[in-house]
A and B are shown apart, each in its own frame.
Chain A
Amino acid sequence: MAIEIDYRCKSKSGLPDESKAAIPPEVLLMVQEVVDAYYIDFKLAQEGKRSIFRQYEGEAIVKKKTEGTLKSFTYYLEEKDDLIYKDFKSQSIAGKKHKLSRVFHIQDELPELCWAITKEKKHILGYSCIKAVIEDYHGQEVVAWFTPRVPVPNGPLEFGDLPGLILELTKGNLVYTAVNVRIAGNRGLDGKIEKPKPVSKAISLKEYYEAINKSDKKFGSK
């Protein structure tokens, strides 16, 4: 049995308020349009005991060509092959991440996540979802909305381990929302799910986030 989920990743809040105040309205509109129009599509594919979460494959990953006032705004995102690979049989996780002009190769055990289930509910794609929260390595709250109706303990990034598929995940300023759930049945998936080959020294998830955190502090970002 295989399943594919398309997630659309957008910035939760767009521009910070203090930035908005300092930008002339007409420019703000343009910037906000860019921010609003900008998103990245991810796909989570699971077949059997293996899954992979990665950006859409393609030539250049064209995000959006806006029309109207932003006719001239055409922007491209470089092709990236960031991915998170999970092997539920060996209970391991592997990943490749481009950050800070480096390529990190992550190799770790599949984390056991102790989510706190809340009573909040909402519908995503027609599925009744329950809210669960957890703290990540930075002590930052991660919010997941999962549906017990799709009993797949998986989700975006390294997250999962809930009694249902995560249809929405908020981590930091990013929101991954499922826009399409395809249960492929026994026909299988189009692409293969393969463990990424190491391109650099393997580090753990914790080490990876520590490196990112250090970089964020250096550049003054939250």
Chain B
Amino acid sequence: MRPSISQTKSSVQSKVFVCIGVCLLFYFKVEAQFSVSGHVFDSATMEPLSFVSVTLNTHQDTTLIDYRVTRANGWFLFEEVVADSVLLVVDALGYVAEYFTVDRRRGRQVDTIWLNAARFDLETVEVKAYKSGIILNGDTITYAPSVYTSGREENVEEVLKKLPGITVEEDGSVKFGNKEVKELLIDGDDFLDTNRKGLLKGIHAIDVEAIEVIQNYNPTGMSVLSSNRDGDVAINIKLSDMAKSKTRYRASLGGGYENKYDFVGELYRIKQKFKFFVNTYLDNTGQHQLSLFDYLKLNGGAEGFANKAASSNAGAVPKIFFQKSRSTSVASQYISANFSYKPMDALKINGYTLAYGAQNSLQSFSEEAPLNQGILNTFSSLSKNSFQNYMGKIAVSYRPASKLTFDFSAYTSIQKEEGSVDSESNLNGLNFASRYRNTSPQLTSSGQASLQYSMSPTSLLRAYVQADFTAIEREISLESDSVLHYDIANAAVRGNAIGQELENARLSLDYAVGYIKQVRHYSLSTTASYQSENQSLSNSGITGFEVPSISTTSRLTRNYFLWSNELEYSKPFFDAGIGIHYLATDFQRPRSSNEGIIYPSAFVSVNFARLQQKIKLKYNEQFNLIEVPIALQSFELQSINKLFLFNEASSILLRKHNLQLQYHLFDAFSGTMLFLFSNYASGISLGENVQYFPTYELRSAVVTPTEKVFFNGAILDKKIAPIKLGLKSKLFVGAQQDFVYVFDELQELLNTNLKFNLAAYTTREEKVNLEGGVGVDYGRFGTKQLQATARAVNCSFKLLSKSEGTVDWKIGTVLFWEQQNERKNLYTNILGELRFKPSTTKLQASLVFNDILNINSATRITASQIGNNYRFSAFDTLPGFLLLKLSYRH
């Protein structure tokens, strides 16, 4: 159909309107834009100025809109400036800047701009602008926690765990590198810390301003001598000013299955002059003592145990060896109120107003006064476990001169064993001591004399003298590039007498001589000591023991430094020594008689260590670190009595072109506790995204002279090399071989296992981490075990949104198939934890059943087959618990 006239007219009209509209829009658009251009000249030389900064800025706040830098002819041009009015700034170093207002209505602008030379110079500005996460200052390393933390940490413990080089153990002990931190200070005050775990968990993370690691820490302020002997390490928690104006508290309450309860209450306020910290712990969720029944369960029952014994080559069936406690985590009750008050600069009062619990270490504090200051230390305790113990002590320390300190203390103690009539013992006494120290650049000498008077149980006057001399390392220059130095580290004479009778004596001498030539350093050190102690306080019924000992150790060390012109650092290190120790002592220390049993004990140590560090930093154009090979090796062989130990501490890490080799052997010789543990792991790249990482492990029981034996059979918590799989996930592949062997006297624990475990792990950030593995376990007594593991751990995901908090959960199961001769077992461990953590409040809730970290303490379901007999059972391998916990902090 043809369009009508009216329709055509209407169509033409509309097209005309559209055209007019487009033209108007174009007109206004063109009208809204304009250009600015110009030439910049030096007003003095009349020459065009190149590399002059020309900027267009807004009038309101001089925000930069556009810029040009003039070239040789001094010309600049801004096209299509979209603004009604702009500020044109023309500026160059050494000239006075010119400002122009450029208006759209004036349209295209071409101006000549003359710049005049400036008539003054600016002053030098120098600001050092780096804030490092770690600041080194002599022996002190200061961490800025904010660099390493995410802000979600709750307490100091979590902050410390994130700082490089610092580790926090399960029992609350803190290590810096491999060294245990001896002191935890709060704002430089030791604060009579006796419950470190409570202190670490109690102090809020947000209150921490800095963490200082003080190496060679010496609370008396005296210098620690001898560079080749390490001093103690202390950590000082510096609190923010904000924290000092607030009183903080935390309460956590848990209760659940099997009448388990767990209460933690903490209250603290730390101000400049007054500090207090109240701890309350009531906890019965610790693992029960390992009973005979538990032991049999762990070993496949009495029949399995008998089979083990019969098949062992030990000859006689060993006696059954049971432990009184499986771990240190037993039920505990503990309340203390710890305070520190410094009313004036010259006086400080420390103390516990009340201590109730089983923590014996409370008694050990003694703080020495700073110069011209006095300290009043008070302490009272009430502890009750198998003993009732009441103790009170008051001590005054005064230091009138830098070299002299006086100490006076009075104490009273009553101890009574429950159910025993005659067991009560009292100990009251006075103690006075004066200490003198003199330090010169070459020699430090110190002396101490003390008088101790015990009022009960018998009147006893004891004198004690001690003298120490220590020479600081002396350097004797041989040539310009060689140095001979010697170091008498310590020479001491100590005597302890009652009347005329020498009761305790110690002579010791440490001597080292070294030679440095250019970059090589050799040193030979010898330590020799003789110690004799013979105490016979039979009247008091305390202890009777003898400790004569002789020891000598020689050690030759050599190290040298090497650097090249490729920023390569290399420090091979050789350290070999030999020592002979003879120790005769009575470990049992019977309380009511002096019939000590003397164990002659010879200690021979052959020590070979080689440390090789080679940190090669090569930087490409982008400064990426592309190669860091590091090697640390150490080997140590020790023999103590009949117990033979193999002890290694090594770590090799080599990274080059996707090849990773890692080798760990852990040293664990600690005090009287002998712990044998070694681990070998090596990884190799199977491609860009996959690495194979077998782990071999040599493991033994923990043995102490008090004949406590601890099990540690967890095998699935190995550190296995992270392997990238995809963009945000990781795959872990590992293999493990365990070897457990304990010798001679501990034959009853013979449990030679050869384990192989292959596990695959995946990790997704912020989501679920899945781990799965299979393992083979071959026991010396015919145990064969297959394991399959599946667990999800360390999971953290947002519940609804970030503001509403998170739910962390862990759940897992370990499936075992085990064959011990005729017996076949199939069992599974189930473990889990659910934790709700709202971020909007300080309240937390968690539901815990068993402990995910320890597969031994789990609910176990077992199916057994012995011949044609089948049996099903379910029990806790070690008593587990189900606990609901609520926690609130302010």
The distance from the CB of A203 to the nearest CB of chain B, in whole angstroms, is 15
The distance from the CB of B13 to the nearest CB of chain A, in whole angstroms, is 47
Tell me whether B686 is interfacial, beta carbon within 8 Å: no
Closest to B626 in A: A221
Instruction: Knowing A212-B621, A216-B620 are in contact, say whether A70-B127 is a contact too (CB < 8 A).
Output: no
B55 to chain A: which residues have CB within 8 Å?
A: 148, 163
Instruction: Knowing A26-B178, A35-B625, A183-B121 are in contact, say whether A67-B571 is a contact too (CB < 8 A).
Output: no
B567 touches A77 (CB 8 A): yes
Closest to A17 in B: B722
Closest to B62 in A: A148
| Contact flags A182-208 to B (C-beta < 8 A → 1, else 0) | 111110000000000000000000000
Closest to A164 in B: B53
The distance from the CB of B622 to the nearest CB of chain A, in whole angstroms, is 3
A183 touches B93 (CB 8 A): yes
Interface residues of B in 618-674 (CB under 8 A from A): 619-626, 628, 630, 632, 651, 653, 655, 657-658, 660, 662, 664
B651 to chain A: which residues have CB within 8 Å?
A: 24, 27
| Contact flags B691-731 to A (C-beta < 8 A → 1, else 0) | 00000000000000000000000000000011010000000
B124 touches A151 (CB 8 A): no
B164 touches A32 (CB 8 A): yes
B626 to chain A: which residues have CB within 8 Å?
A: 219-221
Closest to A23 in B: B653
Find B630's partner among A23, A117, A177, A179 (CB 8 Å cutoff): A23
Instruction: Knowing A33-B136, A221-B622 are in contact, say whether A151-B93 is a contact too (CB < 8 A).
Output: yes
The distance from the CB of B542 to the nearest CB of chain A, in whole angstroms, is 42
B72 touches A89 (CB 8 A): yes
B622 touches A125 (CB 8 A): no
The distance from the CB of B137 to the nearest CB of chain A, in whole angstroms, is 7
Report the count of interface residues on A (CB-CB < 8 A): 82
| Contact flags B559-600 to A (C-beta < 8 A → 1, else 0) | 101010111110100000000000000000000000000000
The distance from the CB of A34 to the nearest CB of chain B, in whole angstroms, is 6
A26 to chain B: which residues have CB within 8 Å?
A: 165, 177-178
Find B139's partner among A35, A68, A73, A182 (CB 8 Å cutoff): A68
A72 touches B561 (CB 8 A): yes
Segment from B3-11, B63-71, B747-755 that makes contact with A? B63-71
Instruction: Knowing A162-B69, A163-B54 are in contact, say whether A19-B628 is a contact too (CB < 8 A).
Output: yes
Cα A174 to Cα B624 in complex, Å, equals 8
| Contact flags B39-64 to A (C-beta < 8 A → 1, else 0) | 00000000000111111000000011
Tell me whether A103 is interfacial, beta carbon within 8 Å: no
A222 to chain B: which residues have CB within 8 Å?
A: 622, 624
A172 touches B623 (CB 8 A): yes
A75 touches B567 (CB 8 A): yes
Tell me whether B97 is interfacial, beta carbon within 8 Å: yes
| Contact flags A74-117 to B (C-beta < 8 A → 1, else 0) | 11111000000000110100000001000000000000000001
Tell me whether A16 is interfacial, beta carbon within 8 Å: yes
B620 touches A125 (CB 8 A): no
Cα A1 to Cα B625 in complex, Å, equals 40
B53 touches A153 (CB 8 A): yes
A124 to chain B: which residues have CB within 8 Å?
A: 129
The distance from the CB of B687 to the nearest CB of chain A, in whole angstroms, is 13
The distance from the CB of A171 to the nearest CB of chain B, in whole angstroms, is 8
Closest to A152 in B: B93
Tell me whether A58 is interfacial, beta carbon within 8 Å: no
Tell me whether B132 is interfacial, beta carbon within 8 Å: yes
Closest to B71 in A: A91
Instruction: Knowing A23-B653, A67-B138, A68-B215 are in contact, say whether A162-B67 is a contact too (CB < 8 A).
Output: yes
B133 touches A36 (CB 8 A): yes
Cα A18 to Cα B624 in complex, Å, equals 13
B622 touches A22 (CB 8 A): no
Closest to B571 in A: A72
A30 to chain B: which residues have CB within 8 Å?
A: 613, 615
B68 to chain A: which residues have CB within 8 Å?
A: 163
Instruction: Knowing A11-B625, A15-B625, A31-B615 are in contact, say whether A180-B724 is a contact too (CB < 8 A).
Output: no
Cα A130 to Cα B53 in complex, Å, equals 14
The distance from the CB of B733 to the nearest CB of chain A, in whole angstroms, is 14
Report the count of interface residues on B (CB-CB < 8 A): 80
| Contact flags A59-77 to B (C-beta < 8 A → 1, else 0) | 0000000111110111111
Instruction: Knowing A14-B625, A221-B624 are in contact, say whether A161-B69 is a contact too (CB < 8 A).
Output: yes
A180 touches B124 (CB 8 A): yes
Tell me whether A3 is interfacial, beta carbon within 8 Å: yes
The distance from the CB of A186 to the nearest CB of chain B, in whole angstroms, is 7
| Contact flags A6-20 to B (C-beta < 8 A → 1, else 0) | 001111101110110
Tell me whether B134 is interfacial, beta carbon within 8 Å: yes
Cα A186 to Cα B93 in complex, Å, equals 12
Find A28's partner among B165, B567, B619, B721 (CB 8 Å cutoff): B165
B483 to chain A: which residues have CB within 8 Å?
A: none
Cα A50 to Cα B122 in complex, Å, equals 20
The distance from the CB of A154 to the nearest CB of chain B, in whole angstroms, is 8
Cα A181 to Cα B122 in complex, Å, equals 10
The distance from the CB of B726 to the nearest CB of chain A, in whole angstroms, is 14
B134 touches A36 (CB 8 A): yes
Find A29's partner among B125, B177, B623 (CB 8 Å cutoff): B177
A24 to chain B: which residues have CB within 8 Å?
A: 651, 653, 664
A67 to chain B: which residues have CB within 8 Å?
A: 136-138
A35 touches B134 (CB 8 A): no
A151 touches B52 (CB 8 A): yes
Cα A220 to Cα B126 in complex, Å, equals 39
Instruction: Knowing A27-B632, A27-B653, A180-B125 are in contact, say whether A1-B93 is a contact too (CB < 8 A).
Output: yes
A99 touches B621 (CB 8 A): yes
Instruction: Knowing A31-B628, A180-B126, A221-B622 are in contact, say whether A78-B136 is a contact too (CB < 8 A).
Output: no
The distance from the CB of B543 to the nearest CB of chain A, in whole angstroms, is 39
Tell me whether A126 is interfacial, beta carbon within 8 Å: yes
A153 touches B141 (CB 8 A): no
Closest to B127 in A: A125
A216 to chain B: which residues have CB within 8 Å?
A: 620-622
B52 to chain A: which residues have CB within 8 Å?
A: 151
Closest to A208 in B: B621
A77 to chain B: which residues have CB within 8 Å?
A: 565, 567
| Contact flags A124-164 to B (C-beta < 8 A → 1, else 0) | 11100010000000000000000010111100000001111
Tell me whether B431 is interfacial, beta carbon within 8 Å: no
| Contact flags B85-109 to A (C-beta < 8 A → 1, else 0) | 0000101111001000000000000
B92 touches A151 (CB 8 A): yes
B122 touches A163 (CB 8 A): no
Tell me whether B130 is interfacial, beta carbon within 8 Å: yes
Instruction: Knowing A27-B630, A89-B72 are in contact, say whether A151-B622 is a contact too (CB < 8 A).
Output: no
| Contact flags A22-56 to B (C-beta < 8 A → 1, else 0) | 11111111111111111000000000010000000
B625 to chain A: which residues have CB within 8 Å?
A: 11, 14-16, 19, 35
Tell me whether B617 is interfacial, beta carbon within 8 Å: yes
Closest to B723 in A: A18
Tell me whether B2 is interfacial, beta carbon within 8 Å: no
Instruction: Knowing A22-B660, A151-B93 are in contact, say whether A185-B51 is a contact too (CB < 8 A).
Output: no
Cα A173 to Cα B620 in complex, Å, equals 10
Cα A43 to Cα B830 in complex, Å, equals 64
A125 touches B125 (CB 8 A): yes
Tell me whether B862 is interfacial, beta carbon within 8 Å: no
| Contact flags B133-168 to A (C-beta < 8 A → 1, else 0) | 110111111000000000000000000000011110
8 smallest CB-CB distances across A and B, nearest first, come from A172-B622, A1-B94, A185-B121, A29-B165, A78-B565, A163-B53, A151-B91, A163-B67
Question: 10 A-B contacts, Cβ less than 8 Å apart?
Answer: A1-B118, A21-B722, A32-B134, A72-B559, A72-B561, A89-B50, A162-B53, A163-B69, A180-B126, A181-B124
* Known interface pairs A153-B53, A163-B54; 5 further A-B residue pairs with C-beta atoms within 8 A, sorted by A's residue number: A16-B625, A22-B655, A74-B563, A117-B67, A163-B67
Q: Which residues of A contact B (CB under 8 A)?
A: 1, 3, 8-12, 14-16, 18-19, 21-38, 49, 66-70, 72-78, 88-89, 91, 99, 117, 119, 124-126, 130, 148, 150-153, 161-164, 171-174, 177, 179-186, 212, 215-216, 219-222
